[in-house]
Structure 1
Amino acid sequence: MTTALTDGKPFGRTAVTRRRGIVWFLFLAFAGAWIPWGVAGAAGYTLDNPAVQLLTGAFTPALAAIITRRWITREGFADSGLRLRLRTQWRSYLTAALLPIGILAAALTLAVLLGMWRPEQHDFGSGTLLFLVLAPLIPVVAAPIFFGEEFGWTTYLRDRLLPGRPVATTFATGVIWGVWHWPLPWLGYLGSGGSAADAFIAMLLWLPLSIELEFLIGWLWARSGSVWPPALLHGGSNLVVALGLELFVGNAGPSGASITLLMCAAYLPVVAWIVVTTRLGGPRNANSTAGR
């Protein structure tokens, strides 16, 4: 079992090709999302509407990676991780589907210890029970949507930013990914009623959350050589961990700061384990043979 956060070796890549690909990918990913977000906001739409999210930026990173691979660098898709590899990497899929439940449990435990949530006062009605029953399946259903980001940020950008430095390149990818989200709190993504201070806080907190999540996603990518386990985990983070915390704890404040901080705290031990095992070294990853 691969434990280290190793990085891949995409085929036929030169330093010039790598740099050109990074520049074009970032331009397409940012412009292709920020411009539609701005147009949607100017037209009176808010980004808390799932339909608006899907029609604007949800698939922009994937489209940027496709355009870059096919027409700009002409690297092709041999290292893109499109294959499921389910037979050999089923443990990665299982981890991606179940880990969000463990993260949610850890975050709720922390919320109890901090006095933010009292389970005995929570109404465990049919909606709550249905959420708990469906929690393992939610990432599976949502994976095609979150493929839109992971095919860009993780399977394209991550291995190219700082090759040979898996911890550094994962950290850098997380920072860029977090910055990419910065317009969202100004365009109603967190709901109405927030102030400029709330939006600014949300921008800041998006950085550590994105960095931590990219460590988990990058670990799954290095382990599986497929984009699909990362897409599962991303979907679980948004729709199991974040929504679960809102369901149980409640979203205290328009910035969503309490929810984000609980998520960051719950992810931290797993991220620390990944970084430590990476520093200690480990078996080669699956990416070098993915697609062959």
Structure 2
Amino acid sequence: MSRRPGDLAVFLLVAFGLSWLFAVPLWLSGGSGLVTVTGLAMMFTPAIAVLTVWRLRHREVPFREWAGRTGLTFGGRPGRAWKYIAVAWAGTVLLTLLATAISVATGLLSVDLAGLSLFRAQIASLGRGASLPLDPHTLAVIQLAQGLIMGPVVNAIPALGEEYGWRGWLLPRLMPLGATKALVASGVIWGLWHAPLTLRGYNYPQLGAWAAVMFVGFCVLFGIFLGRLRLASGSVWPAVAGHGVLNALAGLPLLLGDAAHPPNLAVAGVTGLVGWALLAVVAAFVLRTGRPPARPTPVQGEPTGPAVQG
């Protein structure tokens, strides 16, 4: 009996191992100055893991064929893929704006549109207040416009670094579990992979290390939305678009917030409980109405598994 690790084991070892390796300087420094650099480096580890599986386990498969089976192409139907890219783009924008609006309407998020005091405080904390080329209001408008219009484009490469692993390779690999279980399991894995950052309170500073648990829940719910688009389109690019928009707009509460009453990000915004409620409705809808797609043709040497069930 072969004792070689299977495809899934190789993938998880590389993706998780590299993420923790890249986070070592952040943990040793004890500060937060390396969070952005660490997070950006981590985003490429799932893609590296997919390529490692290919080179170690399926080297005989031409890369062009591997790319098609792992969602790097448009699934043989470019028009259909572009339609789902538009759905991911517009849908994520809508969810983010709606979560912010509901947070404001319910009093869970205090905004300071006139002064942008929280945004100004963040700029000042970076030590760049005296050298700003533009007024904070202008910067905020530019940032918002970039998130709405250019989010998927600007963030495409780092978002692909993650999505090629989670939705491109991992989700189809888990489909023998059944579509619903595969979507949930891939979301849990995605959330746990963020632990080098979230254990330090990333995304939910009020929670400390409990942020790691909180973010898993968000990843499951948002991952169901992205995963369904990947399975329906046969391509990873809709998930890349949605992920790119999320990264561009998820910080809206920090952009619009009031420094005198800072937002509790565990509650307000798309990544907080308000966003959870919206995403839960979307997840229930797509799980109930989405027709389970056929499992992609396995790469040579992969187990075929049982038929897919919803």
Calculate the TM-score normalised by the size of structure 2.
0.74
Structure 2: stretches of 5+ with no match in the other structure: 117-136, 299-310
Alignment partner of 1:247 is 2:255: yes
Which residue of 1 is the match for residue 72 of structure 2?
A: 82
Q: Confirm or deny: 8 A CA contact 2:102 2:274 kept in the other structure.
A: yes
Match of 1:210 among 215, 219, 236: 219
Q: Unpaired runs of 5+ in structure 1? A: 1-15
Where does residue 169 of structure 1 map in the other structure? 182
Structure whose CA Rg is larger: 2
1:199 aligned to which of 204, 208, 214? 208
**CA apart distance, 1:288:** 5.6
Identity %: 27
Q: Which has the higher contact order (CA 8 A, sep 6+)?
A: 1
Match of 1:130 in 2: 142
2:289 to 277, 280, 292: 277
Q: Which residue of structure 2 aligns with residue 7 of structure 1?
A: none
CA distance in 2, matches of 1:287, 1:274: 20
CA 1:273–1:93 in 2, change beyond 3 Å: closer, same or farther? Answer: same
- Cα gap change, 1:287 to 1:230, in 2 (>3 Å): farther
Aligned length in residues? 263
C-alpha distance in 2, partners of 1:180/1:62? 13
Q: Does structure 1 retain, via aligned residues, the 8 Å contact 2:254–2:263?
A: no
Q: Secondary structure at the match of 2:149?
A: coil
1:97–1:149 Cα change, 3 Å: same
| Cα deviation 1:203-254 (Å, max 9, x = unaligned) | 12111100011101111101211111111111112222x1123223469779
Contact 1:100 1:233 in 2 (8 A): yes
Any conservation in 2 of the 1:97–1:140 contact (CA below 8 Å)? no
Root-mean-square deviation over aligned CA pairs: 3.1
The separation in 1 between residues aligned to 2:171 and 2:33, in whole angstroms, is: 26
Shift of 1:54: 2.4
Kindly provide the CA deviation profile for residues 76-127 of structure 1, in whole angstroms up to 9, marking residues without a partner as x: 41401111464442211111221121102220232133212466x5238333
In 2, Cα distance between equivalents of 1:89 and 1:271: 20
Quote the offset at 1:47 in angstroms: 6.7
Name the SS for the 1:230 alignment partner.
helix
* Aligned 1:1-292 pairs, distance under 5 A: 20-43=6-29, 46=32, 49-55=35-41, 57-74=42-59, 76=61, 77=66, 78-84=68-74, 86-117=78-109, 122-123=113-114, 125-134=137-146, 135-163=148-176, 165-187=178-200, 189-190=202-203, 198-240=207-249, 242-249=250-257, 256-259=265-268, 260-278=272-290, 281=291, 284=293, 287=296
Q: What is the CA–CA distance in structure 1 between the aligned matches of 2:264 and 2:142, rounded to whole Å?
A: 27
Equivalent AA in structure 2 for residue 138 of structure 1? G
1:162 deviates by 4.4
The two structures have a TM-score, normalised by structure 1, of 0.78
**Is the Cα contact below 8 Å between 2:183 and 2:220 reproduced in 1?**
yes
CA distance in 1, matches of 2:264, 2:213: 10
